[in-house]
Structure 1
Amino acid sequence: MCTWCSYTDLKERRIPNVWTYTAFLVLLVYRMFDPVFLWGLIPAVVLLGCWFFIPPSLSIGEGDIKLLAVIGLGIGFNQTMVVFFYMGLGWLISKIAYRIVKRRKLNFLPLAPFILIGLILAIILKYAI
């Protein structure tokens, strides 16, 4: 699902609500009796709160916040923070590299592919070490 959301974010600059809402509801029912995983929603709630104060040029899309909420429900708080860290690091490196190579400011950079990279790295680091 995260791969498809990354693809649509790159091509259409949007993440379909059908995917995020369906996955959120399925995971919410699945995790209802395991409240530890509900803490994984905290990063998405914080981003939602920040969303109102971030300038539009740096704005995180609503679909990205919903995708992080789904990931938080799926893997829990600690791993979601790892995903969030690698997502931000990848985004920052890409933004700086684009600025150096193209010598101009990048106005839009989809976040879902970086969420996918962060998720893959978090899973690899959790199970490989």
Structure 2
Amino acid sequence: MGWFAQGVFGICDFQFWWSVTNQITWWSLLAYATVAGWTDVRSRTIPNWLTSAAFVAVMGIHVFTGAALPAVAGFFVTGMLFLMPTILKVWGQGDWKMAMVYGAGLGALPTVFLWSLSMLVAKVGNHPISIWSRKFMTNSKAASMPLGLFVLCGTAVAYLAVSLCTAFR
């Protein structure tokens, strides 16, 4: 598989799921999603410094493992795939940048799957969050949905699902 196809279809090799590089990539994305989810719930923003640090960490992992070109391809393809919802204000630019970091870490299609899973989780979990938001936030910020929190939930669910599937095969 060429580097561009690897960037689109997935950088993490599920045949070697328990390899150190796969685990470091997933755990760094989980750490990023945890902090991004926390700040997104509190202020409805994902700071640029956090996204930049996560991108540098993910790219550092892939440069170390020789997968820098697929990571760059995943970053740009994810950016193009998620550009239209960002323009249509389905989510904010911080969420778009977060998706591109995931694209660099996992590849474009796994990121699309993960974000689809996160949007399903958001449909279920949005009601309690909106009640909390109306109680503690201003009206303009309370109306928006903290997608970073749901991406954290989707990432955790996907990680556990793949871990369980690979552990019992």
* TM-score under structure 2 length normalisation: 0.59
Deviation at 1:39, TM superposition (A): 4.2
Partner of 2:53: 22
- On the 8 A contact 2:59/2:71 being kept in 1, the answer is no
Q: State how far apart, in whole Å, the 2-side matches of 1:44 and 1:93 are.
A: 26
Q: State how far apart, in whole Å, the 2-side matches of 1:78 and 1:46 are.
A: 10
Q: What count of residue pairs does the alignment treat as equivalent?
A: 118
Partner of 1:115: 151
The alignment-based identity, stated in percent, is 24
1:94 and 2:129 correspond: no
Deviation at 1:76, TM superposition (A): 2.4
Deviation at 1:73, TM superposition (A): 1.4
Deviation at 1:69, TM superposition (A): 1.2
AA paired with 2:147? L
Partner of 2:62: 31
AA paired with 1:116? L
Is 10-19 or 36-45 further displaced after alignment? 36-45
Q: State how far apart, in whole Å, the 2-side matches of 1:10 and 1:45 are.
A: 26
* TM-score under structure 1 length normalisation: 0.75
Larger radius of gyration: 2
1:45 and 2:76 correspond: no
Per-residue Cα deviation, 1:71-105 (whole angstroms, up to 9, x for no partner) = 2212223431221121111122334x56xx9xxxx
Q: State how far apart, in whole Å, the 2-side matches of 1:119 and 1:44 are.
A: 18
AA paired with 2:86? W
Instruction: Trace 1:4-83 onto structure 2 (pairs within 5 A).
Output: 4-32=35-63, 33-34=66-67, 35-41=69-75, 42-52=77-87, 54=88, 56=89, 59-83=90-114
Change (3 A) 1:44 1:125: farther
Q: State how far apart, in whole Å, the 2-side matches of 1:17 and 1:81 are.
A: 21
- On the 8 A contact 2:44/2:145 being kept in 1, the answer is no
Q: Which ranges of structure 2 fall in alignment gaps of 5 or more residues?
A: 1-31, 132-141
Deviation at 1:111, TM superposition (A): 0.5
Q: Which ranges of structure 1 fall in alignment gaps of 5 or more residues?
A: none
Change (3 A) 1:127 1:78: farther
- On the 8 A contact 2:85/2:91 being kept in 1, the answer is no
